[in-house]
Amino acid sequence: RSLYSPDDPLELLSADTAERRLLGSPSAWAVEFFASWCGHCIHFAPTWRALAEDVREWRPAVMLAALDCADEANQQVCADFGITGFPTLKFFRAFSKKAEDGIRIAHPAATVADLRRAIITNLEQSGDAWPPACPPLEPARDSHPISQRGDRFQVALDLLQYENVAVRRVLSSEEELVEQFGVTTFPSAYLLLRNGSFSRLPVHAEARSFYTYYLRTLSGVTRGSYRLNITGSAVNESRALQPLQADRSKVYVADLESTLHYTLRVEAGRPAVLAGAQLGALKCYVATLAKVDFLGGFGLEVLMVVPTRSRPSVLQASPAAVLPTNITWVGCRGSEPHFRGYPCGLWTVFHLLTIQAAQGGPDQELPLEVLSTMRCYVKHFFGCQECAQHFEAMAAKSMDQVKGRDEAVLWLWSHHNEVNARLAGGDTEDPQFPKLQWPPPDMCPQCHREQRGVHTWDEAAVLSFLKERFSPGNLLLDHAVPIPRAGAEAAASTRLSTAGLREKEEEEERKEEEKETEKPDREGETGRPGSSELRRPSIVRRNPRLQAVGEDIVDLDSFSEQHFKSKALRAAGRHRRLSKRDTVALHHDGGWERLQAPESREEAEEGGLRRSPWLRVLGLGFSRLDVSLCIALYFLSSMCLLGMYTFFRLRTRARKGRPGFFPAA
Ligand SMILES: Cc1cc2nc3c(=O)[nH]c(=O)nc-3n(C[C@H](O)[C@H](O)[C@H](O)COP(=O)(O)OP(=O)(O)OC[C@H]3O[C@@H](n4cnc5c(N)ncnc54)[C@H](O)[C@@H]3O)c2cc1C
């Protein structure tokens, strides 16, 4: 099942319906914005469902709804409603005009009773926005605290859909009525009939459910014509995922790519403004991806981020890019849509990053940098807010004490296991993928030891297991989105060893250089149609319009250019083609070239930023535009000189031909 199904008594909103239903509505709405992968949303779903059941009779005065912000189709609408974390609960008064009118209902960990009270409190404060279907709940002189009054409003709301009965409240302060009915205890309920007779309701307890039940059973009281409007969208319908054959000893590139797609296009695209610490966190993340030899040769060209103040973030600006635009979970695929997926992918990406950072190059600090990048990323972008808080608490305790590169790998491993232990047996656990202390004995027997009957880990064995597991040779390309290429070659590329990849890559680079030398005027073109050598676009493109904006928006283009200068130089040394616009061209496999967006081709050509080989050899840093201008100026000045020369020459000749100035004697 998805978190909610059409059987639940709430409306499942979508991008098409959210604004239409919530804004300008004669009903008040309580909405949960959730992400189906988020553990705390999974915990919270039964409470929201129970609340929906509890207040189902309050329709159409008060409606309950839910919107899945993890669904990429809903990304924009969730951003419009200012949703940055999950679950977020908002109350919309009737006739709310703007998305910002939603009032946050604090504390999603609240009980059904707390939430019901929060709805009533907000309803009471509706003033002019009183839902027409809602009975008048607020007597003129009510000195009781709102929390107490709220409990008693509920009966009136519970009877909303019933005809031939009206519920009114009388306060103890209304002495005349109290006296007329002979009321002695508060609260108590009286039934007043049309003929003027009245009697106290014979209920066992002066409580909401007793009153409601009794009133509904009265003769003549019937349910009105209002029908529950269960409008489950097809997208949200319960569905089990088709199982994909996944080898659990492998790491799938499809999972890594899907995670990058989700982190960069969805999570980082959510804030209205990227600035300050949040922008810093994104820069770190991008920088780490570029710095670590991420995917070890599996064709990721990282990465341009463009300054933005507007939310349709640059991260979405390039429709076709290196990463696929859809999500395919393979190793991280859950048995149902709300299990596993993105959080699984995020753990996997960070394990891979720490291990690759620990293994590659002389930079001792890099694995520690990866850990702090993960900490920053989770703090600023991970949509599951409570997960992020838990992780931050763990990190604050011990992350600073990590000194060495192997220690960094083991820190992440052991803390991931701590999370596994906390979540084991809970409702976020996919029954088909129980949360274990990892790696389990069948995956790594040598990792486990027993000393006097007590289990211990052999950390050295764990470390080498992790290094092997997250080595480039253990990455599988299955189910990732392929780019068409020659049949046999494509088949062969489904799984390549690191060595194979690197050889292939070098060969392709050689070929590429040769082609560039042969056809300098084709520089900037993205490849031959049908060939596997399309130049890959960067994930995110420069958007010149956005560059004029504010000071605290950092141009990550120049940031990364500076940051990775040394890396770029090294790459250039290895005959990498490195354009000014591509931050770092990492290893690539020809079979993994992504289709390039046409606009990025145009952009590259228009900007004239790609230099032809001979200019690069000269190292002059001129673009083709510069050179064209030089030639044009040179030509113009030559023409000018020629003109002047001809003019003076003609004048001299003319003078010689004329009679002298002095008259003949
Ligand atoms: C930073 C972070 C904090 C989170 N906090 C919470 C939370 O507070 N509450 C909540 O409900 N959910 C939380 N989650 C989600 C939760 O940890 C799982 O990611 C999610 O439930 C999916 O679980 P899974 O079964 O796919 O395995 P995951 O735990 O996601 O693991 C993914 C894969 O990594 C491998 N793996 C497992 N353990 C280890 C390990 N110790 N070392 C290396 N590899 C390992 C396995 O192959 C596994 O399939 C958090 C996720 C992240 C990224």
Residues 190 and 312 in one domain: no
With respect to residue 656, please indicate whether it lies within any of the assigned structural domains. no
Of the ranges 25-39, 262-276, 448-462, 484-498, which one carries the lowest mean pLDDT score? 484-498
With respect to residue 576, please indicate whether it lies within any of the assigned structural domains. yes
With respect to residue 643, please indicate whether it lies within any of the assigned structural domains. no
Residues 334 and 193 in one domain: no
Instruction: Judge if the beta carbon of residue 387 lies within 6 A of ligand 1.
Output: yes
Residues 370 and 515 in one domain: yes
Cα–Cα distance for residue pair 204/190, rounded to 1 Å: 14
38 is known as an active-site residue: yes
Angle between helices 405-423 and 385-398 (to 10 degrees): 140
Last residue of a domain, one of 169, 194, 223: 223
Instruction: Judge if the beta carbon of residue 390 lies within 6 A of ligand 1.
Output: yes
Rounded to 5°, the CA angle 29-35-39 comes to 115
Top-ranked range on mean pLDDT: pick from 1-5, 262-266, 544-548, 586-590? 262-266
pLDDT of 588 strictly over 80? no
Find residue 525's DSSP bridge partners: none
Mutation probe of ligand 1 site: the residue of 40, 42, 344, 376 with most atoms within 8 A of C-beta:
344
pLDDT in tens, 78-114: 999 999 999 999 999 999 999 999 999 977 668 999 9
Quick one: average pLDDT of 496-502? Answer: 33
Of the ranges 157-166, 281-290, 374-383, 544-553, which one carries the lowest mean pLDDT score? 544-553
Among protein residues, the one with the nearest Cα to ligand 1's atom 48 is 344
Residues 504 and 564 in one domain: yes
Residues 196 and 275 in one domain: no
| Contact present, 538 and 583 (Cβ < 8 Å) | yes
> Measured between alpha carbons, how far is residue 608 from residues 258, 557, 626 in Å?
32, 17, 9
Per the structure, the complete domain to which residue 179 belongs is given by: 11-223
Dihedral pair phi/psi, residue 128, rounded to 5°: -70, -20
* Token pair for 79: 């951003």
With respect to residue 647, please indicate whether it lies within any of the assigned structural domains. no
What pLDDT is stored for residue 461 in this prediction? 97
With a threshold of 0.90, tell me whether the complex ipTM lies above it: yes
What pLDDT is stored for residue 102 in this prediction? 95
Residues 120 and 267 in one domain: no
What pLDDT is stored for residue 324 in this prediction? 65
Residues 435 and 313 in one domain: yes
Last residue of a domain, one of 596, 611, 627: 627
Looking at every residue in the chain, the average pLDDT score rounds to: 74
What pLDDT is stored for residue 88 in this prediction? 95
Instruction: Judge if the beta carbon of residue 394 lies within 6 A of ligand 1.
Output: no
352: helix, strand or coil? helix
pLDDT of 610 strictly over 90? no
Counting from 1 in the atom list of ligand 1, the atom nearest the Cα of 426 is 11
Instruction: Judge if the beta carbon of residue 378 lies within 6 A of ligand 1.
Output: yes
**Residue 225 pLDDT class (50, 70, 90 cuts):** low
Dihedral pair phi/psi, residue 508, rounded to 5°: -65, -40
pLDDT of 409 strictly over 90? yes
**Residue 657 pLDDT class (50, 70, 90 cuts):** low
What pLDDT is stored for residue 392 in this prediction? 97
Catalytic residue among 41, 134, 384, 387: 41
CA of 391 to the centre of ligand 1 (A): 11
What pLDDT is stored for residue 67 in this prediction? 97
CATH for 466? 1.20.120.310
With respect to residue 157, please indicate whether it lies within any of the assigned structural domains. yes
Residues 100 and 149 in one domain: yes
With respect to residue 5, please indicate whether it lies within any of the assigned structural domains. no
pLDDT in tens, 4-58: 988 899 999 999 999 999 999 999 999 999 999 999 999 999 999 999 989 988 8
Last residue of a domain, one of 223, 253, 271: 223
CATH for 191? 3.40.30.10
CA of 39 to the centre of ligand 1 (A): 10
| Of residues 471 and 502, more confidently modeled | 471
Q: Which among 587, 540, 591, 569 is positioned nearest to 295, based on CA atoms?
A: 587
Instruction: Judge if the beta carbon of residue 244 lies within 6 A of ligand 1.
Output: no
pLDDT of 501 strictly over 60? no
Top-ranked range on mean pLDDT: pick from 232-236, 283-287, 497-501? 283-287
Residues 441 and 294 in one domain: yes
> Measured between alpha carbons, how far is residue 533 from residues 371, 590, 601 in Å?
35, 6, 14
Cα–Cα distance for residue pair 41/51, rounded to 1 Å: 15
What pLDDT is stored for residue 293 in this prediction? 63
482: helix, strand or coil? coil
| Contact present, 422 and 410 (Cβ < 8 Å) | no
Instruction: Judge if the beta carbon of residue 430 lies within 6 A of ligand 1.
Output: yes
Residues with Cβ < 8 Å from 212, sequence gap 6 or more?
Answer: 155, 158, 159
With respect to residue 550, please indicate whether it lies within any of the assigned structural domains. yes
What pLDDT is stored for residue 168 in this prediction? 79
Cα–Cα distance for residue pair 654/481, rounded to 1 Å: 79
Among protein residues, the one with the nearest Cα to ligand 1's atom 45 is 438
With respect to residue 4, please indicate whether it lies within any of the assigned structural domains. no
Residues 611 and 466 in one domain: yes
69 is known as an active-site residue: no
pLDDT of 587 strictly over 90? no
Residues 182 and 301 in one domain: no
- Sign of the Cα torsion 544, 546, 551, 552 reads negative
What percent of the chain stands above pLDDT 70? 66
- Sign of the Cα torsion 597, 603, 609, 614 reads positive
Instruction: Tally the domains of the chain.
Output: 2
Residues 482 and 569 in one domain: yes
Rounded to 5°, the CA angle 139-140-142 comes to 70
CA of 346 to the centre of ligand 1 (A): 8
Among protein residues, the one with the nearest Cα to ligand 1's atom 51 is 343
Counting from 1 in the atom list of ligand 1, the atom nearest the Cα of 415 is 41
* Token pair for 550: 């504010």
Q: Alpha helices, DSSP H only, in 23-164?
A: 39-54, 75-80, 112-124, 146-158
Among protein residues, the one with the nearest Cα to ligand 1's atom 38 is 438
Counting from 1 in the atom list of ligand 1, the atom nearest the Cα of 389 is 8
Residues with Cβ < 8 Å from 177, sequence gap 6 or more?
Answer: 170, 183
What pLDDT is stored for residue 272 in this prediction? 82
User: DSSP of 504-540, one letter per residue?
Assistant: HHHHHHHHHHHHHHH-GGGTT----TTSS-PPPPPSS
| Of residues 11 and 591, more confidently modeled | 11
Mutation probe of ligand 1 site: the residue of 3, 262, 347, 413 with most atoms within 8 A of C-beta:
347
CA of 344 to the centre of ligand 1 (A): 5
